[in-house]
């Protein structure tokens, strides 16, 4: 039996744990591609709680759990008691007595922290207003798969300082790479909210083109994240110049990659030319959610594979 571990933000794991996980993701992916079953979580159940919409996260967790020999149960706010005011602490007590693992997509990070504090089983952050660690796990794995180690590389983040941006920044501190961030005025990174230690792994740029200079990876995300829809009109105006285009990609490193967690809005945060162009690895990135989360779930429930 391993000690209870949660994955609520990127910095919940050490660099050594990430080294293990990146290797394990590769192993799990290769085995799956060879059509060899790997039922490490046979008979176990994952409960997935969604308070916001999802395509990739739901699909990758549900398919991933089935491929590991277990089952996944979907709950949402609309048709469970969660939407009718049951305290999150009570929900955590009950749900964690009937499952082996819980994944939650919700609003404030505080909600998932309170759930985890009352859970008997590991809790995974499937996106909050503040963080999206499962996505960055898959993104960094995708970078490694295409280009090798990310340590010492530069990632350019163009756009909103949202959950994705915060998680890239945490990852940079932990795995020792740089993030160049360019946001419109008024949308800058809030280091405290991002949970940073101020280790000098990120730099802010007023001009997105400057941020992209020499970058090994250029990445962006929607201008308006889920939960911020009321700000959409103001954001459309403020972010108009923060669209990743061919000019930005041209000043980056010669072997630069483009990533986007998806869903994307072509013509807003990225041009069709870039996202559908040769430097884009967005489909690999999406697929790797599946393999990365299988390794993550296995690790949280069983610990390191060699110790099983
Ligand atoms: N990237 C991502 O998390 O996608 P979904 O919102 O479709 O889950
Ligand atoms: N920042 C986006 C990511 C969606 C996967 C959001 O929170 O809506």
CA 221 / ligand 2 centre spacing (Å): 7
Query: pLDDT tens digits, residue range 33-91?
Result: 999 999 999 999 999 999 999 999 999 999 999 999 999 999 998 888 888 999 999 99
Query: pLDDT tens digits, residue range 152-190?
Result: 999 999 999 999 999 999 999 999 999 999 999 999 999
Query: pLDDT tens digits, residue range 29-47?
Result: 999 999 999 999 999 999 9
Task: Enumerate residues lining ligand 1, CB below 6 A.
Answer: 54-57, 127, 135, 261-262
Please report the atom of ligand 1 found closest to the CA of residue 52: 6
Quote the pLDDT of residue 79: 85
Instruction: Please give the full DSSP string across 189-230, using - where no structure is assigned.
Output: --HHHHT----S-EEE-SSHHHHHTT-SEEEE--SS-TT-GG
CA 294 / ligand 2 centre spacing (Å): 21
Structural domains of the chain in order of their starting residue, each with its CATH number:
10-132+288-302 (3.40.50.1370), 134-285 (3.40.50.1370)
Query: pLDDT tens digits, residue range 227-247?
Result: 999 999 999 999 999 999 999
CA 265 / ligand 2 centre spacing (Å): 12
Which residues are tagged catalytic?
105, 132, 135, 221, 261, 289
What gap in Å lies between CA 32 and CA 197, rounded to an integer?
A: 38
Residue identifier of the C-alpha nearest atom 1 of ligand 1: 261
H helix intervals, the chain: 15-33, 56-67, 88-95, 109-117, 133-147, 163-175, 191-194, 208-212, 232-238, 246-251, 272-275, 282-302
């Amino acid at each position: 039996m391993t000690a209870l571990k949660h994955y609520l933000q990127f910095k919940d794991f050490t660099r050594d744990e990430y080294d293990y996980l990146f290797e394990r993701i590769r192993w799990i992916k290769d085995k799956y591609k060879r059509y060899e079953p790997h039922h490490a979580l046979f008979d176990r159940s994952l409960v997935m709680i969604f308070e916001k919409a999802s395509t990739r996260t739901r699909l990758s967790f549900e398919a991933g759990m089935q491929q590991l020999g277990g089952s996944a149960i979907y709950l949402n706010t609309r048709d469970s008691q969660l939407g009718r005011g049951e305290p999150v602490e009570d929900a955590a007590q009950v749900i964690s007595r009937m499952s082996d693992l819980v994944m939650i997509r919700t609003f404030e990070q505080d909600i998932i922290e309170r759930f985890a504090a009352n859970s008997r089983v590991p809790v995974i952050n499937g996106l909050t207003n503040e963080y999206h660690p499962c996505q960055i796990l898959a993104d960094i794995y995708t970078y490694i798969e295409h280009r090798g180690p990310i340590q010492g590389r530069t990632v350019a983040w163009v756009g909103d300082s949202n959950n994705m941006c915060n998680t890239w920044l945490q990852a940079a501190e932990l795995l020792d790479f740089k993030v160049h961030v360019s946001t419109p005025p008024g949308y800058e990174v809030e280091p405290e909210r991002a949970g940073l230690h101020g280790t000098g792994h990120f730099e802010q740029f007023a001009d997105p083109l400057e941020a992209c200079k020499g970058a090994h990876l250029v990445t962006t995300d929607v201008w308006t994240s889920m939960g911020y829809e009321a700000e959409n009109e103001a954001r459309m105006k403020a972010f108009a110049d923060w669209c990743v285009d061919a000019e930005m990609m041209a000043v980056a490193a010669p072997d630069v990659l483009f990533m986007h967690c998806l869903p994307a809005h072509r013509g807003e945060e990225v041009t069709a030319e870039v996202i559908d162009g040769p430097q884009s690895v967005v489909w690999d990135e999406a697929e790797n959610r599946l393999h990365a989360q299988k390794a993550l779930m296995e690790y949280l429930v069983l610990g390191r594979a060699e110790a099983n």
